[in-house]
Amino acid sequence: MADGRWPGIMPIDISARFSFSLHDPCDVLLQFEAAAIPEQTILSCDCQMSEAIHLARIPAQDNIGQRIWLRSEGLYEVDYRARVQVNRMLADLSELERLEPHDLPGEAVQYLFDSRYCPADRFQPFVEAEFGHLTGGPRMVAMRDWVAQNFSYVPGSSDATTTAMDSFVERRGICRDYAHVMITLARASAVPARFVSCYAPGVTPQDFHAVAEVFLADPSIPGGGAWHILDATAMADPAQTVKIGVGRDAADVSFMTTFGAAQFEDKTVAVTAPD
């Protein structure tokens, strides 16, 4: 994993195709495009979508990326291709300190709280016992490594009701579950943590991916802080991770949410980085 460096020129090629069928006219919320944010440059982008009754783009959470509101009927197909260059500054997390809670800016505070899949409050005794000797970045890295070491990546072992508490007990899950546990442990340490849906090469099997992001002190700005990616699955390199959107947890950044009877038909994701 890369640390303390600017990544070089690293265009990532993304292809995502999926389709679904809507029996009756029905609303759908989509969020699958690489976000246009300073830390990543959309070099090129082509998004083919079936014709819809209604289509509108709205800003997504924390103004990272966009959500697409759709109203349509019958078969709907999305074919998205993009080339993205990641400009993300990668810090050496083991050298970063935490911000004291009372120094956290307003926009980070919501990421301290319990969310649907991350009941962090209940994990305080465990976190204190297991990681109490560490603080800030080193604690976050230790948590990531603890999850990596103690969990098994088992496709199909979780579903839409699986919380970080379930995963913590069962010691297994997929990327969303790894991210939920990492977020939960961080918040139980009073470190803001959010869920990032993303594209990354190296994800096996190739699919939409999810990682955690934690908010730590920025040594270059007194009193300032910055978000840092942590992937407990170790499949994604933060230097090659293309963000789609962020949220409190998976409940906020599903790539597709339907408001009516829908049948999912097909999905193919391919993400590659030139060697």
Interface ranges with a copy of itself (CB under 8 A): 27, 29, 54, 56, 58-61, 67, 69-71, 100-106, 109-110, 113-116, 118-119, 121-123, 125-126, 129, 150, 152, 159-161, 165-166, 168-172, 190, 247-248, 251-252, 259
Nearer residue to a copy of itself within complex by CB, 225 or 247: 247
* Separation CA 18–CA 49 (nearest Å): 10
Q: How far is the CB of 153 from a copy of itself (least distance, A)?
A: 12
Cβ closer to a copy of itself: 159 or 275? 159
Which residues are CB-neighbours of 238 under 8 A, at least 6 positions away?
Answer: 1, 2, 88, 90, 211, 228, 229, 231
| Chain-centroid distance, C-alpha 253 | 8
**Coil/strand/helix, residue 233:** coil
* CB-nearer residue toward a copy of itself: 59 or 219: 59
Spatial contact of 208 and 18, defined as CB atoms under 8 Å apart:
no
Closest distance to a copy of itself from the beta carbon of 139 (Å): 15
Smallest separation, CB 255 to a copy of itself (Å): 14
**Smallest distance from a copy of itself to CB 201, Å:** 29
- Nearest Cα neighbor of 201 from 163, 231, 171, 157 is 231
Nearer to a copy of itself, 37 or 89 (CB): 37
Quick one: which H or E segment has residue 124?
helix 124-131
Q: How near is the Cβ of 185 to a copy of itself at its closest, in Å?
A: 11
Closer Cβ to a copy of itself, 151 or 199, answer by number? 151
Q: Shortest Cβ distance from residue 6 to a copy of itself (Å)?
A: 32
User: In this structure, which amino acid lies at residue 233?
Assistant: T
Asked if the bond preceding 205 is cis, omega within 30° of 0, the reply is yes
Q: Based on CB atoms, which residue is closest to a copy of itself, 48 or 150?
A: 150
**Contact (CB, 8 A) for 71 and 50:** no
Nearer to a copy of itself, 149 or 220 (CB): 149
Structure tokens at 195: 């869920």
Of 118, 96, 107, give the one whose Cα is nearest residue 188: 118
* Cβ-Cβ contacts under 8 Å for 235 (sequence gap 6 or more): 175, 200, 202, 203, 204, 209
Residue 236 Cβ vs a copy of itself, minimum distance, rounded to whole Å: 23
